[in-house]
Every structure is written in C-alpha cells, then in structure tokens.
C-alpha cells in the first residue's frame, strides 16, 4: 500500500536488527514489486541476493543518489519528486 505511490525507494543504510525488521521487509517488498531501490549500504547486493532483478543500485552517498535520480527517465520516476 505505502509503496504504490512511489517508483524509487532509498535505503539509508540503517542498522540491521529486530527493531528495523519492518524496514527490511519494506525494501524486500519494493524489490519484489519491481521498484528501484537506491541503497547506501555497502553489502546491499548480498542482503538482497536474488530479489533485486536489476533494480538494486548501490550508491556511495546522497550526491550519487541525486545524480541517479536526475539521470532517470521521467517515466521511471514519475512519482519520485513528490515522494522526496
């Protein structure tokens, strides 16, 4: 439901643990729905192995996320600007 209005989801690299399990579920659901996930996590590829379908992009910092969004086609990020 919450993901229906967005095209891109950003993983801030939050600490993994029981308290953040819901956040991991949201990221997994986003990938399963074919959403683009931009992750600041160095091990994102290993965490979501098999679920990414080419939609998981590891970014080094917020500037790289913004450059990615600027270079995306408007159709791929039609809801992005209102979601930020």
φ/ψ of residue 64, rounded to 5? -65, -35
φ/ψ of residue 61, rounded to 5? -160, 180
**Structure-token pair, residue 82:** 């209102």
Range 56-80 average pLDDT? 79
pLDDT in tens, 9-47: 999 989 888 988 898 899 999 998 989 999 998 888 888
Percent of the chain predicted with pLDDT > 90: 31
Residues 48, 27: contact at Cβ < 8 Å? yes
- Say if residue 76's pLDDT is above 60: no
**Structure-token pair, residue 44:** 């994102």
- Say if residue 82's pLDDT is above 60: no
Mean pLDDT for the chain overall: 82
| Distance in angstroms (rounded) separating the CA atoms of residues 61 and 64 | 5
- Say if residue 63's pLDDT is above 90: yes
């Amino acid at each position: 439901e919450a993901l229906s209005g967005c095209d891109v989801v950003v993983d801030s690299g939050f600490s993994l643990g029981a308290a953040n399990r819901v956040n991991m579920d949201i990221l997994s659901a986003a990938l399963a729905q074919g959403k683009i996930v931009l992750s600041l996590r160095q091990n994102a590829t290993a965490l979501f192995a098999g679920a990414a379908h080419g939609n998981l992009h590891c970014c080094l910092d917020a500037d790289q996320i913004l450059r990615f969004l600027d270079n995306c086609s408007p159709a791929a990020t039609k809801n992005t600007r209102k979601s930020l």
